[in-house]
Structure 1
Amino acid sequence: MPLTKPNQELRRDLHGLASDLKWSAIELMRIAARLSQAGSEADAQAVIRICQVMQAGEDRLAGYGDEVGSGSIMRKPLP
């Protein structure tokens, strides 16, 4: 069964947000590497922990998008 337009938009939004988180985490990892090279290991480790949280969020959002695609999650029509 094809997705309704609202569900297509929801799926696209969820996958887009997951992609944004992935890109942000990659950029933060680059910053963490520079911090480490500059001798700020504690700061680098803090940024890496933030990246790990973001990556977990990315995985959840992508999973929700997949569930929308399979019909497990659906956007309710507005009243």
Structure 2
Amino acid sequence: MWLNEHEQTLRRDLQGLASDLRWSAVELLRIAEQLRLSGNDVDAEAVRRLCDLFQGDEQRLAGYAEEVKAKIISRNKPE
């Protein structure tokens, strides 16, 4: 089944946001490692917890994008 223009845009937006979260988590992990190496284990752990949240959100958004593709979620016009 083909996606309409609005669904294609929604899917692209969801995929883009998921990708942004993924790369943000990668950068935050790099920062967490630098914090750990500088002896700031408390802040490093806090940043790692943020990464876990970002990764969970990234997976959820990617799942929504797949639901749009499968027509489980649809959009007729943007609001």
| TM-score computed with the length of structure 1 as normaliser | 0.96
Q: How far off its partner does 1:78 sit?
A: 5.5
- 1:40 and 2:48 correspond: no
Superposed CA RMSD: 1.2
CA distance in 2 between counterparts of 1:3 and 1:18 reads 20
* Structure 2 counterpart of 1:16, one-letter code: G
Secondary structure at the counterpart of residue 47 of structure 2: helix
Gaps of 5+ in 2: none
Amino acid at match of 2:17: L
Q: Is the 8 A contact 2:67 2:73 kept in 1?
A: yes
> Percent of aligned positions with the same letter in both sequences?
52
> For 1:20-35, what aligned pairs fall within 5 Å after superposition?
20-35=20-35
CA displacement 1:29-60 (0-9 Å, x = unmatched): 00000000000000000000000000000000
Q: Aligned residues, how many? A: 79
Q: Once the 2 structures are TM-superposed, how far is the Cα of residue 76 of structure 1 from its aligned partner? A: 3.3
Cα distance, 1:21 vs. partner?
Answer: 0.1
| Structure 1 portions without partners, runs of 5+ | none
CA change 1:78–1:24 in 2 (3 A) is closer
Instruction: Give the 3 Å change call, closer, same or farther, for CA 40–23 of structure 1 in structure 2.
Output: same
Letter in 1 for 2:75: R
State the TM-score, normalized to the length of structure 2: 0.96
Question: 1:76 corresponds to which residue?
Answer: 76
